[in-house]
Amino acid sequence: MFIESFRVESPHVRYGAAEIESEYRYDTTELVHESHDGASRWVVRPKSVQYHFRTSTTVPKLGYARSTSFPFTNLLLASG
């Protein structure tokens, strides 16, 4: 199935004129080794990381780069 366009409806997603912004909270755990009064132990703590994503909705203009970094391309252009 091919979907040409879609829209996400979520309180964490905002649509602007030229971009889409979203917030995502990643919940995980962290493992910490602690030493106290000669005794050591491992402690597992919850951890939450907040991410902010921004995606441009405009399609950049694509051009044909003609430079010395593409010698084969320059050869084709010169022979054509």
Q: What is the mean pLDDT of the chain?
A: 84
Higher pLDDT, 1 or 42: 42
CA distance 79 to 73: 10
Confidence check: pLDDT of 9 > 90:
yes
Higher pLDDT, 41 or 77: 41
Report pLDDT digits (tens) over 15-41: 999 999 999 999 999 999 999 899 999
Domain boundaries, the chain: 11-59
Q: Give exposure, 43-71, as e/b (b: 16+ Cβ within 10 Å).
A: eeeeeeeeeeeeeeeeeeeeeeeeeeeee
